[in-house]
Amino acid sequence: MKKEFVVIGLGRFGGSIVRELVKQGANVMAIDTDSERVDEYARIATQAVVADTTEEETIKSLGLWNFEHVIVAIGEDIQSSILTTLILKELGVPQITVKAQNDYHEKVLLKIGADFVVHPERDMGIRIANNMMSNSVLDYLEISGEHSIMEVKANESIAGQSLIELDVRAKYGLNIVGITRGEEIMISPNATERIQVGDVLLIIGADVDINRFVKKVIQK
């Protein structure tokens, strides 16, 4: 069965989510109060509807609780974003992801039960800054305010060492949970595995510890 999503708010962020979900084969209902934006997505989304989701009756009449995941991508109108999230939560939508405008907005959203809060501008800023600081960090996924999973490229300074010898768990409090070597992907690699130049290490841990590891070991 196809996955079913609702995206509320068709700005650049919401719009790109609609496009990507459809591209990946999902059924998507796209909603906005702005009929021009809805027209734009009429041919892309499975269904495109002009509606104000701060009205409980509207959400009920659209049967939004039948969808497994609703994404609230209402931008600047924080009040509408919060009210929409609250109504969706009260109706029992299983998964609600909301775009936050700032830290206070995020706090309120989590308090009223949003399952996921995203902060695209802030997160992208952090990601770009991380990439600029280090050629070794290829990608990064924030898992809490202070913890991440990072893809780090191994160079000569650690090549030839096994995971036991590196001992990142004791020395840095980190876990290397995967290694990509060309086409090969090792999940939970063996402790005796020796690192090669160009390996991509998938590391999980606190941001400060990962940065310490990257600076001390990879960039030395």
By CB under 6 A, name the binding residues for ligand ATP.
8-13, 31-34, 37, 52-54, 74-77, 80, 99
Contact 4/23 with Cβ under 8 angstroms? no
List Cα–Cα distances, 110 to 97, 147, 148, 213, in angstroms: 10, 18, 19, 32
Closest distance between ligand ATP and the C-beta of residue 58, in Å? 8
Contact 170/141 with Cβ under 8 angstroms? no
Nearer to ligand ATP, 21 or 154 (CB): 21
Distance (Å, rounded) from C-alpha 145 to C-alpha 212?
A: 17
Please give the DSSP secondary-structure letter assigned to residue 191: T
Nearer to ligand ATP, 73 or 152 (CB): 73
Other beta carbons within 10 Å of 131: 14
Closest distance between ligand ATP and the C-beta of residue 110, in Å? 18
Nearer to ligand ATP, 31 or 137 (CB): 31
Q: What are phi and psi of 124, to 5 degrees?
A: -70, -35
Query: Which residue minimizes CB distance to ligand ATP?
Result: 75
Closest distance between ligand ATP and the C-beta of residue 190, in Å? 44
φ/ψ bin of 88: left (φ > 0), alpha (ψ from -120 to 50), beta (otherwise): alpha
Nearer to ligand ATP, 31 or 158 (CB): 31
Closest distance between ligand ATP and the C-beta of residue 78, in Å? 10
Closest distance between ligand ATP and the C-beta of residue 40, in Å? 10
Nearer to ligand ATP, 97 or 211 (CB): 97
